Amino acid sequence: MFSYFDYLECSACLRRYPPTAVCNLCACGEPLLARYRLAAAAAAVDRDGLQGQSLWRYHALLPVQNPESVVSLGEGMTPLLHARRLGARLGLDFLYIKDESQNPTGSFKARGLAVAIARAAELGIRQVAIPSAGNAGGAAAAYAARAGLEAHVVMPRDVPRAFLVECQYYGAHVELVDGLITDAGQRVAEGCARHGWFELSTLKEPYRVEGKKTMGYELAEQLGWELPEVIVYPTGGGTGLIGMWKSFEEMEALGWIASRRPRMVAVQAAGCAPIVRAFEQGTPRAAPWEHAATIAAGLRVPQAVGDALMLKALRDSQGTAVAVSEAEIRRGVFLLGREEGLFASPEGGAALAGLQRLVAAGWLDRRARVVLFNTGSGFKYLDVLAQADPAALA
Ligand SMILES: Cc1ncc(COP(=O)(O)O)c(C=O)c1O
């Protein structure tokens, strides 16, 4: 059996939809999640016999039904690097970096969009549309090109230039808006209503999160089917966080891992930290952030559809949420470069800055296994990163 995908289930009201339905949100307005026949998968799939070098090695736990529908540029199975120099600097013996910049299109967005585009094409969709802070747009355009779909990407006018140029070279229709990703989202919704495009916005489409969850499967596999004690993740729309949390539940049901979970840490920029604020205030949902601003474009998400799911994962895991300044973000990028040879995105720099704060606050044990996510490549942000002199960040 190629896939054990069974049905879609609303994350809030639990209403079910058949696997063949073309869906965005549930009728109640909340995100849908893919559910699998896990008992049957557990009996048939041997975790030690997984085949292939991309995220499609987990195809049994992905929604694409037919092997012929897979759309791949080689995404996933990114390195998990033991960061000894950075760890020594921070006073952590087991610091690892999951380097997602090595994905096709230079970010972890490749995972979600590979699966979402493959599934869209499988369901007969021909035109897709996405609002993006940059990386998701590039990935959507690339996978749409590979699948032969038409892509419409709407981004804020001030996104780093590489994102615009990249999308154009993938042959996508690109529109720039004066505003934020939420404004881009409105343009996409209008375009979908008017032209019948299929909307791929974060969590308004159920399969991107399935691609993202493979980060959790890989982590477990790369650590010998154990999970780390702490995961530090730069959080915008939150699909990575939500996806990994979902993967842990699935892997436990499959009998692939034990019940212990990592503490999940969401790092946001101080200039746009709705999840951190809601976490600190103890509310189940996050109010929209006014005047969102940060160089970490992927973290400039003033309001997320998945806020409730993110907050629940942070709390259920005994995790936390941290906001970091722009100066800390730039310095984080520099430290990842100087200490470990990684040219990280500002979002990766933010994750490191968040971890430094937690270490300073004594939140972590020196011997804890900590996985830090560098979600994207610094090469996409050359115009932004060149604004600072790295020597001055030392
Ligand atoms: C490099 C990078 N890191 C992190 C994020 C935030 O990702 P998520 O939506 O999974 O929270 C984004 C989103 O655009 C991004 O591009």
What pLDDT score was predicted for residue 259? 98
- Cβ partners under 8 Å of residue 131, min gap 6: 154, 155, 181, 182, 184, 185, 187, 188, 201
What pLDDT score was predicted for residue 256? 98
- Cβ partners under 8 Å of residue 209, min gap 6: 31, 33, 112, 203, 239, 242, 243, 246
What pLDDT score was predicted for residue 392? 85
Distance CA 62, CA 3 (A): 6
What pLDDT score was predicted for residue 70? 98
What pTM was estimated for this model as a whole? 0.97
Distance CA 135, CA 376 (A): 8
Atom from ligand 1 closest to the CA of residue 346: 1
Atom from ligand 1 closest to the CA of residue 240: 10
Q: Whose CA is nearest to atom 6 of ligand 1?
A: 236
Tell how far the Cα of 270 is from the centroid of ligand 1, in angstroms. Answer: 15
Tell how far the Cα of 388 is from the centroid of ligand 1, in angstroms. Answer: 22
What pLDDT score was predicted for residue 393? 84
Atom from ligand 1 closest to the CA of residue 376: 1
Q: Whose CA is nearest to atom 1 of ligand 1?
A: 376
The residue length of the chain stands at 394
Atom from ligand 1 closest to the CA of residue 235: 11
What pLDDT score was predicted for residue 391? 80
Q: Whose CA is nearest to atom 9 of ligand 1?
A: 237
Distance CA 113, CA 120 (A): 10
Q: Which residues of the chain have pLDDT under 50?
A: none
Residue to mutate (ligand 1; options 97, 102, 103, 135; most atoms within 8 A of CB): 135
What pLDDT score was predicted for residue 389? 87
Residue ranges of alpha helices (H) inside the chain are 38-44, 84-90, 109-122, 135-147, 161-169, 181-195, 208-222, 239-254, 274-281, 307-316, 326-340, 346-360, 382-385, 390-393
Q: Would you identify the CATH topology of the domain 80-107+207-393?
A: Rossmann fold (3.40.50)
Q: Whose CA is nearest to atom 14 of ligand 1?
A: 298
Binding-site residues, ligand 1, Cβ < 6 A: 107, 109, 133, 135-136, 202, 234-240, 298, 345, 347, 375-376
Residue to mutate (ligand 1; options 99, 101, 103, 109; most atoms within 8 A of CB): 109
Distance CA 369, CA 356 (A): 15
Q: What is the pLDDT of residues 287-317, one digit of tens each?
A: 999 999 999 999 999 999 999 999 999 999 9
